[in-house]
Each structure stands twice: as C-alpha cells, then as structure tokens.
C-alpha cells in the first residue's frame, strides 16, 4: 500500500507545486488542504461502523481499498491533464484513510498480548518507511519517462497488496457499539492523549507548509525543499524505530509526554539559532516526535478502546487529527512567517501541549484512587467483571494489592 501511495505522489509532484509561482501555489495548496480533509467530514461517520461491521471483516476492507485504488489509478492515467484528476484524487484519499483506519483496528488481532502493541506499530511504521523509500527510486525513474508509467507501477503494487492481505485475519465483527463501549471512548486517558496528538499533528501541518513557502519566498533552491522532505521522512522513520525500545522503559503515556517535550525543546532551540540548518533539524526532530507519539497513541487506543469497535475509535480520532493538520496548514499558506518566528510558534505550541497533558495526567492520578467503575471491559473473550478499582494503564494488581507490570 505504501509503495502505491509513493507512486501517486511522485506522479503528481511535478504539476502540483514546483512548476508554479509561490503566489499561484497558495490557492492550489488551499484547495489541496480542503480536499485532504473533506473525506473525513463526509465519510468519517460511516467509515468506522462500516469497517467494524463488514461481514468479511477488516481484512476484506483492506483488500477492497487496494482494488479501489488500483482502479482509480487506471482512470487517473487517462486524466492527468484535465479537471477529472481532482475527484479521482479525492477518491484515492478516501480509500487511503479507510485503509489506515482498518489497519490500525486490525493490529490487536495479530499480536499475542497488548504489551506488544507498541512494538507491532513500530515495526509496521519502519517497514512502511523503508518500503516507501525503496519504492521512490523506481517510481521516480518511471515518472521521469512519463507520470503514467509510475501510476501503472502503483497499480501493480496495489494488486500485490490484495494478495498479501489474504494472509491477514478477518478480525471481529461488531454490528453496533454498546452504550458502555461508547462511554469508554470518552475516558480521560484517551481524551487527553488525543488532545496531545492533535497538537503534534497541528505542528506538522503548520511546519510543512510554512517551510515550503518560506524556502520559496527566500529564493532557496528546490534542493533545500527536497532536503526538508527527506529530513522529515528520516525523522519519522527514526521515531518509529525507537518507539519499541522506549516502550520497554516507559508506559505509553510517558512516551507521548516525551514526544511533545521534543517538539517544545527543538522549536525553541531552532528559534534561537535560526536559518535553514535549524529548519532541517526541526523538521527531522518534530517528525521523529510525531512517530513516537503516534505509536504511543495507537497503542493507547488499541489497549483501552472496545476491541470490536476500534474502527469507530480510529475513524473518530483520525478525523480530529486531520482537521488539526489542515487548519494549522492553512495559516502559513495565508501568511508566511519569518523563519525564527515560525520556529518559536512551534516551540510554544509544544510547551502548551506539555502543560495540558501533564496537568491532565496529574488530575487523573489524583482521581484514580477514588474512581470506581461499575462495569469494566472484559479481556478479549472473557466475561464482564464486577465493580473494581481502576489501576494505572499497563499495570495489574495481585490479590494483596501490590502492583505488578
């Protein structure tokens, strides 16, 4: 799936940004931001329940999204130069997000225990990053000859994805979410983690478009733009790679705290030093923080959200994250800031995220000793339990009350 996505990006990159002036690019980028978020506004309320309740399970949804994207790529080959390209791209985005939600909801069914969730998410992120980098070479070579050839390469990749997905488990089917399960999606741990992750995604959206326009307005060569994108990609892969070792030392909540602290410190440091070098470092570190934070957040959802209705959970949260990314991305498209000012804004948002998340964690810790639940979600396949004290996520209690990891 990742290789197919790379093929489309490579095929369309030359006509979407680099070939037009910065002023002309602004209107096109605003249209892109609208198109990137519109799939969530329109179909997010439908994607989650459809994924969770599909008779063929989540495996079938993944296969259908691959088939659908292959067919849309075929149509795009014949409409690269006309307006039909936009609705076709819109359809690809919808299927791309549907696949992402299905993939996240399927991961708990392919691990032995919930302690392995971060490791599984981390490995998947690393594999996706490595495959994306490897696929960029043949896709770019074909695109240099003709963008249509790289789209054909994408079609081939999606066909391979259909075959590979046949080895996945179907996953549990949930016709409807129960009231208690809906209540679990509103628990304090998930809400505060979602706020922190939304702020990280907002920083990513703001920084990406800010650096693109800042570099172009200051007449930096396109090679610097490529370097920024490369640094972002490498940073994301590093974040995915170190997430699993971090989980061996830290709980998911502390991993997420580490991620937002990285954003705050690096943003403030870049504001002090300034320059394109600081921009490269900031892009790499913020994307590494995004990788760590996303691995931690996905594992929190997979750990705490209702098992059979995790498609609904991921669709709900991904909608918030995409909105944060798109809204923050609009700001530099409308008004591009000087480099140091932009870096300072990134750092201040990181500081705010740290303050909010740490404060929320302390409030949860104070209330946990007195908080009880009348019904606790059973372990997969187990019966509901009675009234219990809720202990910190990731811990269990012996009969004498001692905590154990």
State how far Cα 363 lies from the chain centre.
27
Three-state secondary-structure class, residue 375: coil
What per-residue confidence (pLDDT) applies to 379? 42
Residue 344, both tokens: 């300072």
Q: 């606790």: which residue's tokens?
A: 376
Exposure of 261 by Cβ count < 10 A (0-12 exposed, 13-18 middle, 19+ buried)? middle
Q: Are 403 and 395 in contact (CB under 8 A)?
A: yes
C-alpha closest to that of 160 among 66, 87, 91:
66
**pTM: predicted TM-score of the whole model, two decimal places:** 0.69
Beta-bridge mates of residue 372: 389
3-state secondary structure of 403: strand
- Hey, how many other C-beta atoms are within 10 angstroms of the C-beta on 253? 22
Confidence (pLDDT) at 113: 72
Q: What is the DSSP secondary-structure string of 249-303?
A: TS-HHHHHHHHHHHHHHHHHHHHHH-HHHHHHHHHHHHHHHHHHHHHHHHHHHHH
Q: Are 292 and 258 in contact (CB under 8 A)?
A: yes
- Residue 44's CB is within 10 A of a number of other CB atoms, namely 23
Q: Look at the alpha carbons of 219, 25, 321, 8 in this order and tell me if their dihedral is positive or negative.
A: negative
- Beta-bridged to residue 397, according to DSSP, are 403
Element (H, E) at 211: helix 188-217
Give the model confidence (pLDDT) of 267-309 as tens digits. Answer: 999 999 989 999 999 999 999 999 899 888 888 887 776 655 5
396 burial via Cβ count (<10 Å: 0-12, 13-18, 19+): exposed
**Tokens in use for 63?**
């296969």
Which SS3 state, helix, strand or coil, does residue 306 take?
coil
Could you give the CA distance from residue 247 to residue 158 in angstroms, rounded to a whole number? 32
Residue 110 CA: distances (Å) to CA of 99, 333, 367, 394: 16, 41, 34, 19
Predicted pLDDT at 307 = 58
State how far the Cα of 360 lies from the Cα of 287, in Å rounded to an integer: 24
CB atoms inside a 10 Å sphere around CB 15: 14
Task: Report in angstroms the alpha-carbon separations of 236 from 176, 185, 232, 233, 286.
Answer: 35, 27, 6, 5, 8
List, as one string, the DSSP characters of 150-174: HHHHHHHHHHHHHHHHTTS------
Going from the C-alpha of 239 to that of each of 246, 291, 322, the distances in angstroms are 10, 5, 20
CATH topology of domain 2-366: Growth Hormone; Chain: A; (1.20.1250)
Can you read off the two tokens belonging to residue 346?
């990134």
Tokens 């705490």 locate to 304
3-state helix, strand, coil in the chain (%, to 5): 80, 0, 20
Q: What is the pLDDT of residues 36-58, one digit of tens each?
A: 666 666 555 666 566 656 655 67
Give the integer Cα–Cα distance in Å for 335 and 214.
10
If you write DSSP's letter for every residue of 43-78 in order, what string do you get?
A: HHHHHHHHHHH-TTHHHHHHHHHHHHHHHHHHHHHT
Q: Give the chain's residues under pLDDT 50.
A: 16-18, 369-405
Tokens found for residue 174: 């949930």
Task: Say what the pLDDT of residue 92 is.
Answer: 86
Separation of alpha carbons 63 and 81, rounded Å = 29
């Amino acid at each position: 799936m990742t290789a197919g996505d790379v093929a489309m990006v490579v095929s369309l990159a030359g006509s979407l940004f680099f070939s037009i002036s910065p002023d002309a690019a602004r209107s096109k980028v605003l249209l892109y931001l609208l198109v990137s978020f519109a799939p969530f506004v329109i179909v997010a309320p439908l994607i989650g329940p459809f994924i969770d309740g599909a008779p063929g399970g989540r495996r079938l949804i993944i296969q259908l999204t691959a088939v659908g994207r292959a067919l849309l790529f075929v149509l795009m080959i014949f409409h690269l130069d006309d307006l039909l390209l936009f609705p076709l791209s819109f359809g690809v985005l919808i299927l791309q997000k549907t696949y992402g939600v299905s993939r996240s909801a399927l991961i708990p069914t392919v691990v032995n225990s919930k302690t392995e969730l971060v490791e599984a998410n981390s490995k998947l992120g690393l594999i996706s990053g490595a495959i994306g980098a490897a696929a960029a070479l043949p896709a770019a070579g074909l695109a240099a000859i003709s963008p249509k050839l790289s789209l054909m390469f994408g079609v081939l990749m999606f066909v391979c994805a259909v075959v590979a997905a046949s080895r996945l488990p179907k996953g549990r089917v949930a016709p409807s979410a129960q009231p208690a399960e809906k209540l679990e999606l509103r628990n304090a741990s998930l809400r505060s983690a979602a706020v922190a992750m939304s702020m990280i995604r907002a920083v990513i959206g703001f920084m990406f478009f800010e650096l693109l326009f800042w570099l172009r307005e200051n007449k930096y060569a396109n090679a610097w733009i490529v370097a920024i994108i490369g640094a972002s990609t490498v940073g994301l892969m590093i974040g995915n790679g170190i997430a699993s070792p971090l989980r061996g030392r830290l709980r998911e909540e502390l991993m997420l705290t580490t991620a937002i602290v990285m954003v705050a410190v690096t943003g403030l440091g870049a504001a002090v030093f300034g320059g394109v070098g600081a921009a490269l470092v900031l892009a790499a570190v913020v994307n590494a923080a995004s990788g760590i934070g996303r691995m931690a957040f996905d594992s929190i959802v997979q750990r705490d959200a209702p098992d059979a209705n995790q498609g609904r959970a991921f669709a709900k949260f991904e909608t918030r994250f995409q909105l944060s990314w798109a809204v923050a991305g609009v700001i530099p498209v409308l008004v591009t800031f000087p480099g140091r000012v932009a870096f300072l804004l990134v750092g201040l948002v990181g500081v705010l995220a740290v303050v909010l998340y740490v404060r929320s964690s302390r409030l949860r810790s104070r209330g946990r000793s007195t908080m009880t639940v009348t019904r606790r979600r059973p372990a997969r396949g187990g019966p509901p339990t009675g009234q219990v004290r809720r202990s910190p996520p990731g811990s269990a209690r012996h009969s004498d009350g001692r905590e154990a990891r």
